[in-house]
A = this chain, B = another copy of it.
Amino acid sequence: MSPNHSGYTSRDGFQWTKETGLRDGVPSLGVIRPSSNLTSTTRHDLFDVVVIGGGYAGLTAIRDLTLAGHKVLLIEARDRIGGRSWSANIQGYPYEMGGTWIHWNQPFIWRELFRYGLSSKIDISPVKEGGLSKCLVNMEGTRTVKMSHDKEDDISESAIKKFVNVDGRLARTVIPFPHDPHYNREAVAHYDKMSLADRFVEVADEMTPLERSMFEAFLSITCGSRTWEEASFFEFLRWWALMNYNYTDFIALGLTYKFKCGQSGFARHFFDEALETGNLTYVFDSPVSNVVDREGTVKVTTTARGNCGVSATFQGYRVICTVPLNVLYKVDFSPPLPQPKMEASKLGHVNQVTKVHAEVANPELRSVGAFSWPTGKLTYGFGDGTTPAGNTHMVAFGGAHPGVHLQPEENMDETLAAWRDLLAGHKVDIRRVVFHNWHKDEFALGAWEWLRPNMSTKYLDPLRARHGNVLFGSADWAMGWRGFIDGAIEDGGRVAKEASTEIRMARRGNATTSDGKFVVSERSRI
């Protein structure tokens, strides 16, 4: 595939232009053709590992396992890799449909990016120079404040510090080790009990109306919850600690740097490297309906989706399940999943944020940021790039609070109006709109993970635990950048190493793993 190839068209995502109106599906480098490399022989193979899900956790697992010489089957429900992080690649230009931003302080993603020679292939999203160079704040839907980006930073920094500073040390004592988030168990339990609403009560008298309004707008699309009550305050402290406990890095790490090739261009490196080993079998368009772990092997049954999928039962010595938290309970496991795993999945995380891209024929908007709270259906947005046509690419997020939760494909007039509202009357010429509705996505049922109060404390360990020969890897229960791409790579690598070690040791007749925790079934034929 040439560098300018935009890939095949995925069923996922939506695109609107004035000329075509709204259409299902967008081109992406993440679409794999042919959709399977199964043969009549491999269909009945006993694989070393069956990996369910081709997001970054699954991609890391298949890459690590195939490089180590294991025979691997990847099963994916969609027609593309990447899970909740993928790009529409339109005319060679990426629109990030989900997970987007990366940084050299994110260890797992940076190691991979470097390994694939991409460390200088990076673009910058928001810029402060050129064009209007303003921040527009639409307050209460009634009046717009225009300010410089420096003032925007001052207000935002002041607000965020007030929100996190629970210990006079900007939360450093609560989470001294961001990659060991529960290190200070007592403090964590306290702040995990608290909702965002509880924290707002504590700082209500300290914030100015402008600080409060801008911070609420930002926070609403950070957690994507329907109410402040349903989202844990600890999750915000955890983000803050990961972002180096300062506002400058919160912006630098959270929403600044991205791939020139788009996330799907990056994800292809993992898939292609695994495929190149000759050890990867894969099947797309084939959601998993059930997983049966019996007598040392695991059987995984799929149901075809569309014409390309496969309805079949596959088997492996180990299964790595990367199905996201909010849909895990829908897969039928035998023996059934332990109660805490099921409970956590059914409760689910709360993030139902909306993300919408617009290509606008307004070069002056490249350096604009905008807030609209609490009435804006797009709550926070900014210039994200310049398209090959020379137009400005803007990205905006919408919160899920009642009355504002935008479903962009349901009414394009409303979606276009939300853009105009966010840009506070600035005359905008919208040429294209691109998005993925994660709220309605049956394989995700939400965006990046943001847990409810008490869930981190109660469910992190059970979610990371294996279940017999089934291992669970996902950004949703990573230790470090939980809820981020980095966390997916971390956790996919963790379970791949565990499975690989077991299989290697079993083949040597060694009945226990290195940590002595797991005994390979005597009936295993590994």
A480 interfacial by beta-carbon distance below 8 Å:
yes
CB interface residues, A 35-70, toward B, < 8 Å:
67-69
Instruction: Give, as a whole number of angstroms, the nearest-CB distance from A217 to chain B.
Output: 27
Instruction: Give, as a whole number of angstroms, the nearest-CB distance from A105 to chain B.
Output: 4
CB interface residues, A 410-459, toward B, < 8 Å:
none
A183 interfacial by beta-carbon distance below 8 Å:
yes
A111 interfacial by beta-carbon distance below 8 Å:
yes
The residue from B114, B179, B493 contacting A104, defined by CB atoms under 8 A apart: B179
A120 interfacial by beta-carbon distance below 8 Å:
yes
Instruction: Give, as a whole number of angstroms, the nearest-CB distance from A492 to chain B.
Output: 12
> Judging by beta carbons under 8 Å apart, are A480 and B120 in contact?
no
A115 with B493: in contact, given A68-B68, A244-B244, A249-B244 (CB under 8 Å)?
yes
A122 interfacial by beta-carbon distance below 8 Å:
yes
A178 interfacial by beta-carbon distance below 8 Å:
yes
Q: Per-position contact with B for A469-496: 1 when CB-CB < 8 Å, else 0?
A: 0000000000110000000001001100
> Judging by beta carbons under 8 Å apart, are B67 and A179 in contact?
no
> Judging by beta carbons under 8 Å apart, are A177 and B122 in contact?
yes
Cα–Cα, bound, A108→B104 (Å): 10
Instruction: Give, as a whole number of angstroms, the nearest-CB distance from A71 to chain B.
Output: 13
Q: Per-position contact with B for A216-251: 1 when CB-CB < 8 Å, else 0?
A: 000000000000000000000000000010100100
> Judging by beta carbons under 8 Å apart, are B114 and A179 in contact?
yes
Residue of B nearest to A249 (CB): B244
A107 interfacial by beta-carbon distance below 8 Å:
yes
> Judging by beta carbons under 8 Å apart, are A105 and B493 in contact?
no
Instruction: Give, as a whole number of angstroms, the nearest-CB distance from A241 to chain B.
Output: 10
> Judging by beta carbons under 8 Å apart, are B180 and A119 in contact?
yes
This chain: copies in complex: 2
Residues of B within 8 A of A249 (CB): 244
A108 with B111: in contact, given A67-B67, A119-B479, A122-B177 (CB under 8 Å)?
yes
Residues of B within 8 A of A69 (CB): 68-69
Q: Per-position contact with B for A16-32: 1 when CB-CB < 8 Å, else 0?
A: 00000000000000000
> Judging by beta carbons under 8 Å apart, are A104 and B497 in contact?
no
A106 interfacial by beta-carbon distance below 8 Å:
yes
Instruction: Give, as a whole number of angstroms, the nearest-CB distance from A56 to chain B.
Output: 14
Residues of B within 8 A of A246 (CB): 246
Instruction: Give, as a whole number of angstroms, the nearest-CB distance from A525 to chain B.
Output: 21
A110 interfacial by beta-carbon distance below 8 Å:
yes
Residues of B within 8 A of A107 (CB): 104-108, 110-111, 114
Residues of B within 8 A of A494 (CB): 114-115
Residues of B within 8 A of A178 (CB): 104
Residue of B nearest to A497 (CB): B115
CB interface residues, A 65-97, toward B, < 8 Å:
67-69
- 20 pairs, CB–CB < 8 Å, chain A vs chain B: A67-B68, A68-B69, A69-B69, A104-B107, A104-B177, A104-B178, A104-B480, A106-B107, A107-B108, A107-B110, A107-B111, A110-B179, A111-B111, A111-B490, A114-B479, A114-B480, A119-B177, A119-B180, A246-B246, A276-B504
Name A's B-contacting residues (CB within 8 A): 67-69, 104-108, 110-111, 114-115, 119-120, 122, 177-180, 183, 244, 246, 249, 276-277, 479-480, 490, 493-494, 497, 504
Q: Which 8 A-B pairs have the closest CB atoms?
A: A107-B110, A107-B107, A105-B105, A111-B111, A120-B180, A104-B179, A69-B69, A107-B111
